[in-house]
């Protein structure tokens, strides 16, 4: 099954996320990751959804999402024409001997340490799903006490934007 | 400019939308709205259960083509609407449901009669609103009617907290709608239609498969033109019944599980399916992989999500059925149809495999035939189950909006309140609910609504003392173990009708059927006719669940 990354531009209103997550669960679509946040326009939120399924599933996902009144536009982000990141915060148990070993791994992954205590470090790492999985695997030997991850966020490369494919008339009011 | 209350603004907005009737039931949270209704120009029909308000609004909408409106109070009032809203959603019926809500300050605190109705109806509405500011009332009403009635229609729910209805605003009804996330298709893709036309011109065995979308888009005459131009047989789905005259020589009746054999054979043998406003429901397709195995499929639908959802489609055409059919006819009319041999084959199937039943005793099919003979122009509503299938099989519709049924959700108890709604919308029509004794009991309390509001509809109960369709399945697939389906003599429907002030008639013999029907219709009062029919009559023919539709069996 293929993974597809969708940027869904929605009205920045309460309840919109529930409409979208409800749609996915009742239609049996698989969400692998979901991230939501405001955009450069105050009245629009952007939801980045990673969905798995074949092309027919993807087509249904897009069509069904489009039927939601609060969904303004959907753009697909192909891997070769977009950049994407996930972020993880990983709390690792350390002592005097292991602290430097953890710090070496953090350096290699160009991650950062954002909190230090006598017996733990919090590592911030951004990157692809694979990169986060790798550092997680390496840090697990020291004992991961707690971990949190965001969903994937993505943008088109170069000057392309998700709104490029939006029909022009979307901005115009409908005359009765 | 003088300020008015949210409740006044609501009523004024509904008047602006041309609403003439609301079906509803009052309660605490909608008191301010009902106070405004007291001397409004809009007619209010008081039902006896909120579910009936939604079904009546649905029946009204299907009979008239206008948007139906229902109203209920918060909590249980709102949740009682749910089945009706889901019914309308599945059948793409334009409906605006207004519910009261507890005051804003109490929302989320489990207040008395509080229910999260926008949350509950999320999956069964085209859209819904919780009105948080009185200033939004006119805009939301305008949007709700626009969303409900355009594109693929559907129900829209508006939840209004009580204190919003008592807040005040300067009322101004908006002229424009700004919904950037909602743009129903306006035109039709001509290129796609050209390709469709090419397929049609090459086809020797086409079948037009017409659904409820043809009725919704008022495309019946365009459908007739196309069918007669290309000389293709037309099968109409349960929801599409009336879109094409059942009496027309090109009509092959209903497809699918209880369709005609000749419709199913035609589909399976066809080389081209022209689907219009239909959605390849499992009751139509049977085993999907075996559906129309040799056919290319053109699918015309205003909802892009329907295209490719179930069946593989060769030529998708997104757009309004009426525009699409009319343009398509224009593209193919110069060529002579080549369907002569095909129509001959279908004619033979029709002669060889007609719909039929054994005429002994009082048969439910005979009752439907009598209704058809005496009142061919009636608006028929149905309940759900055997009654619905016999109505579909043996009543010949000749016009759209005259066969009103819960096709998608299959809601028992739908037909009677829907009949009330249809009669309110089309007062000059004879409206007959073809019912079963099980289904009718799901909303029989609406007799009070019909009597109090003087809505003279006829309920023809095909009383077999069983929950008949389930019993039929138990007979066929569960070794006649009639678990919880025997309901004989549980109620005296004549006395029930009389208790409500309606007329009750009972018929046991075939020769009394027509006289009773005439008496009921001529009485111009709400009337129940209790037809005591052969108890174990089955709906035939039948495609067993999971079989291909040409594996269609005759049942005794």
Interface A-B, measured as beta-carbon pairs within 8 A, has a size of 54
SS3 state of residue B336: coil
CB of A58 within 8 A of CB of A74? no
Contact yes or no for A174 and B304 at CB 8 A: no
CB B75 within 8 A of CB B103: no
- Please state, in angstroms and as integers, the Cα–Cα distance from residue B467 to each residue in A120, B364, B435, B535, following that order: 68, 14, 11, 10
Shortest CA gap B263–chain A (Å):
29
Distances, alpha carbon B236 to alpha carbons B273, B400, B403, B505, in Å: 12, 11, 12, 33
**DSSP assignment string, B245-298:** -TTSTTB----STTS-HHHHHHHHH-SEEEEES----HHHHBSGGGSSTT-EEE
Exposed, middle or buried: residue A51 (CB in 10 Å: 0-12, 13-18, 19+)?
Answer: buried
Q: Beta partners for A46?
A: A9, A37
Residue from the list A18, A59, A170 with its beta carbon closest to the beta carbon of B180? A170
pLDDT above 50 (res A175): no
How many angstroms separate the CA atoms of B548 and B544, rounded? 8
Specify the DSSP element, H or E, that contains B379: strand B379-382
Helix (H) or strand (E) holding B208: strand B206-210
- Using CA atoms, how far apart are residues B417 and B439, in angstroms rounded to an integer? 12
Reading the block at residue B339, the tokens are 């369907």
| Residue A176 clears pLDDT 50, i.e. is over it | no
A21: which chain B residues are within 8 Å (Cβ-Cβ)? Answer: none
For residue A170, the model assigns a pLDDT of 57
Task: Provide the pLDDT for residue A169.
Answer: 61
Least confident of A18-27, B42-51, B149-158: A18-27
Closest-CA residue of chain B to A73: B181
Give the residue numbers in B contacting A (CB under 8 Å), as ranges. Answer: 118-119, 122-123, 126-127, 130, 146-147, 175-183, 303-305, 308-309
The secondary element (H helix, E strand) that includes residue B436 is strand B431-436
Overall average pLDDT of the B496-508 stretch: 98
Question: Which residue has 């509809």 as its token pair?
Answer: B457
Tokens encoding B87:
């019914």
Cα torsion at B239, B245, B250, B252 (round to 10°)? Answer: 40
Q: Under CATH, what is the fold of the domain B3-170?
A: Rossmann fold (3.40.50)
What region, left, alpha or beta, does residue B484 occupy, with left being phi > 0 and alpha being psi -120 to 50 degrees? left
pLDDT digits (tens, 9 = 90+) for B146-201: 999 999 999 999 999 999 999 999 999 999 999 999 999 888 999 999 999 999 99
- C-alpha distance from residue B227 to each of B205, B224, B330, B400 (Å): 13, 5, 12, 16
Our CA-based measurement puts residue B109 at a distance from the nearest CA of chain A, in whole angstroms, of 18
The reported pLDDT for the residue numbered A159 is: 87
C-alpha distance from B541 to closest chain A C-alpha (Å): 32
Reference B469, options B385, B381, B547; nearest CA is B385
Give the Cα separation of A84 and B125 in Å (integer): 34
Of A18, A167, A171, the CB nearest to B122: A18
Sheet (strand B21-24) strand order: B43-46, B21-24, B68-72, B95-101, B155-161, B127-130
> Hey, what's the torsion of the CAs at B349, B350, B355, B357, to 10 degrees?
-80
Question: Do B304 and A66 lie within an 8 Å CB cutoff?
Answer: yes
CA quadruple B390, B391, B396, B399: dihedral, nearest 10: -150
Domains and CATH numbers, chain A: 3-77 (3.30.70.260), 83-153 (3.30.70.1150)
> E strands within chain A?
3-11, 30-38, 44-52, 71-77, 82-93, 112-116, 120-127, 144-149, 153-156
Interchain pair B181, A69: CB under 8 A: yes
Does residue B219 contact residue B400 with C-beta atoms inside 8 Å?
Answer: no
Contact B162, B29 (CB under 8 A): yes
Peptide bond into B516 cis (omega under 30): no
| Termini Cα distance of chain B | 72
Using CA atoms, how far apart are residues B60 and B543, in angstroms rounded to an integer? Answer: 33
Q: Which residues of B262-274 are buried (b: 16+ CB within 10 A; e: fewer)?
A: bbbbbbbbbbbbb
Mean pLDDT of B509-532: 98
Helix (H, G, I), strand (E, B) or coil at B454: coil
pLDDT band at A167 (very low <50, low <70, confident <90, very high): confident
Please determine, for residue B1, whether its predicted confidence score (pLDDT) is greater than 80: no
Q: What are the chain B neighbours of A63 within 8 Å (beta carbons)?
A: 304-305
pLDDT at A172 over 70: no
pLDDT band at A91 (very low <50, low <70, confident <90, very high): very high
Give the whole-angstrom CA distance, residue A35 versus residue A166: 21
- A174 vs B123, B177, B303: nearest CB: B177
Does the pLDDT value for residue A174 go beyond 80?
no
- Average pLDDT taken over every residue of chain B: 97
Mutation target vs B (from A53, A57, A67, A172; most B CBs, 10 A cutoff): A67
Residue B45 pLDDT > 90: yes
To which residue do tokens 């109490």 refer?
Answer: B106
Q: How far apart are CA B130 and CA B265, in angstroms?
A: 49
CA-based nearest residue in chain A for residue B151: A67
Rounded CA gap, B512 and B389, in Å? Answer: 23
Distance between CA A8 and CA A15 in Å, rounded?
15
DSSP secondary structure letter of residue A52: E
Measured CA to CA, the distance from residue A17 to residue B263 in angstroms comes to: 44
User: B87-109 in b/e burial notation, b at 16+ Cβ within 10 A?
Assistant: bbbbbbbbbbbbbbbbbbebbee
Which residues of B are less than 8 Å from A15 in CB distance?
118, 130
Query: Does the beta-carbon distance from A22 to B178 stay under 8 Å?
Result: no
Fold of B190-352: Rossmann fold (3.40.50)
Which residues in chain B have Cβ-Cβ distances shorter than 8 Å to A19? 122
d(CA B327, CA B344): 28
Q: In the CATH hierarchy, which top-level class contains the domain B364-532?
A: alpha beta
Residues of chain B with CATH 3.40.50.1220: 190-352
The per-residue pLDDT for range B297-356, each reduced to its tens digit, is 999 999 999 999 999 999 999 999 999 999 999 999 998 999 999 999 999 999 999 999
Pairwise CA distance, residues B214 & B163, whole Å = 42
Residue B209 contacts residue B306 (beta carbons within 8 Å): no
Closest by Cα among B199, B197, B231, B252 to B338:
B231
CA B393 → CA B255, B364, B396, distances in Å?
10, 11, 8
Write the ipTM.
0.90
Cβ–Cβ under 8 Å, residues A127 and A149: no
Q: Looking at the predicted structure, is the pLDDT value of residue B6 above 50?
A: yes
- pLDDT over 90, % of chain B: 97
CB contact under 8 A, B176 and A18: no
Residue B232 Cα, gap to closest chain A Cα (Å) = 31
pLDDT digits (tens, 9 = 90+) for B101-147: 999 999 999 999 999 999 999 999 999 999 999 999 999 999 999 99
- Catalytic residue positions of B? 50, 112-113, 162, 469
A contact set with B (CB within 8 A): 10-11, 15, 18-19, 22-23, 26, 56, 59-60, 63-64, 66-72, 167, 169-171, 173-176
Report residue A37 CA to chain centroid gap. Answer: 10
Beta-carbon contacts of residue B391 (< 8 Å; ≥ 6 apart): B368, B380, B382, B403, B405, B434
Q: In the predicted model, what is the mean pLDDT of residues A147-171?
A: 85
């Amino acid at each position: 099954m293929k993974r597809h990354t969708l940027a869904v531009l929605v009205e920045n209103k309460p309840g919109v996320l529930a409409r979208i997550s409800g749609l996915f669960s009742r239609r049996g679509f698989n969400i692998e990751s979901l991230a939501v946040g405001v955009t450069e326009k105050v009245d629009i939120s952007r939801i980045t959804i990673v969905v798995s399924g074949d092309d027919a599933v993807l087509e249904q996902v897009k069509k069904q999402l489009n039927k939601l009144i609060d969904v303004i536009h959907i753009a697909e982000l192909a891997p070769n024409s977009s950049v994407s990141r996930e972020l993880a915060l990983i709390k690792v148990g350390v002592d005097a001997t292991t602290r430097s070993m953890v710090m070496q791994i953090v350096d290699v992954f160009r991650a950062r340490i954002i909190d230090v205590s006598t017996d733990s470090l919090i590592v911030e790492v951004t990157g692809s799903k694979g990169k986060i999985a790798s550092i997680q695997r390496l840090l697990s030997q020291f004992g991961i006490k707690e971990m949190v991850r965001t969903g994937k966020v993505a943008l088109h490369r170069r000057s392309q934007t998700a709104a490029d494919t939006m029909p022009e008339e979307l901005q115009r009011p409908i005359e009765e | 400019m003088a300020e008015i209350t949210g409740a006044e603004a609501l009523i004024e907005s509904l008047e602006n939308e041309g609403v003439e009737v609301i079906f509803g039931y009052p309660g605490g949270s909608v008191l301010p709205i009902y106070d405004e209704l007291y001397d409004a120009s809009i007619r209010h029909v008081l039902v006896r259960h909120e579910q009936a308000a939604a079904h009546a609004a649905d029946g009204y909408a299907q009979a008239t083509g206008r948007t139906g409106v229902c109203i209920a109070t918060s909590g249980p009032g709102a949740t009682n609407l749910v089945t009706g809203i889901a019914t309308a959603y599945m059948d793409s019926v334009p409906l605006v449901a207004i519910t009261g809500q507890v005051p804003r300050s109490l929302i989320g605190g489990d207040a008395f009669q509080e229910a999260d109705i926008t949350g509950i109806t999320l999956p069964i509405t085209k859209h819904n609103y919780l009105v948080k500011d009185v200033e939004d009332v006119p805009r939301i009403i305008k949007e709700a009617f626009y969303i409900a009635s355009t594109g693929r229609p559907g129900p829209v729910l508006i939840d209004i907290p009580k204190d919003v209805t008592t807040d005040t605003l300067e009322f101004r009804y908006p002229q424009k709608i700004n919904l950037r996330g909602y743009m129903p298709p306006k035109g039709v893709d001509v290129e796609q239609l050209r390709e469709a036309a090419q397929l049609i011109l090459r086809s020797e065995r086409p079948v037009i498969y017409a659904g409820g979308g043809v009725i919704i888009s008022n495309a019946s005459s365009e459908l007739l033109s196309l069918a007669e131009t290309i000389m293709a047989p037309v099968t109409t789905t349960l929801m599409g019944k009336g879109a094409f005259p059942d009496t027309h020589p090109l009509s092959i009746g209903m497809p699918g599980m209880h369709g005609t054999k000749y419709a199913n054979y035609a589909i399976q043998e066809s080389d081209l399916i022209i689907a219009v406003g239909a959605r390849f429901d499992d009751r139509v397709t049977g085993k999907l992989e075996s559906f129309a195995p040799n056919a290319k499929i053109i699918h015309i639908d205003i909802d892009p999500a329907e295209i490719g959802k179930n069946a593989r489609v060769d030529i998708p055409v997104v757009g309004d059925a009426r525009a699409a059919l009319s343009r398509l006819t224009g593209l193919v009319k110069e060529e002579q149809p080549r369907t002569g041999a095909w129509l001959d084959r279908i004619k033979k199937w029709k002669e060889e495999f007609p719909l039929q039943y054994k005429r002994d005793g009082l048969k439910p099919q005979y009752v439907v035939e009598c209704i058809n003979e005496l009142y061919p122009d009636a608006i028929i509503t149905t309940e759900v189950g055997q009654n619905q299938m016999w109505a579909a099989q043996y009543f010949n519709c000749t016009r759209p909006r005259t066969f009103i049924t819960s096709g998608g959700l299959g809601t028992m108890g739908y037909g009677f309140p829907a009949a009330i709604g249809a009669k309110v919308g089309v007062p000059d029509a004879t409206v007959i609910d073809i019912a079963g004794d099980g289904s009718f009991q799901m909303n029989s309390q609406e007799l009070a609504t019909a009597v109090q509001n003087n809505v003279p509809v006829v309920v023809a109960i095909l009383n077999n003392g069983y929950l008949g369709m389930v019993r039929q399945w138990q007979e066929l697939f569960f070794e006649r173990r009639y678990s919880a389906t025997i309901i004989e003599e549980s109620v005296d429907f004549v006395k029930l009708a009389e208790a409500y002030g309606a007329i009750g008639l009972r018929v046991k013999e075939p020769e009394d059927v027509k006289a009773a029907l005439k008496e009921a219709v001529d009485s111009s009062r709400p009337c129940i006719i209790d037809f005591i029919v052969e108890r174990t009559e089955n709906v035939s023919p039948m495609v067993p669940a999971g079989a291909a539709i040409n594996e269609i069996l005759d049942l005794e």
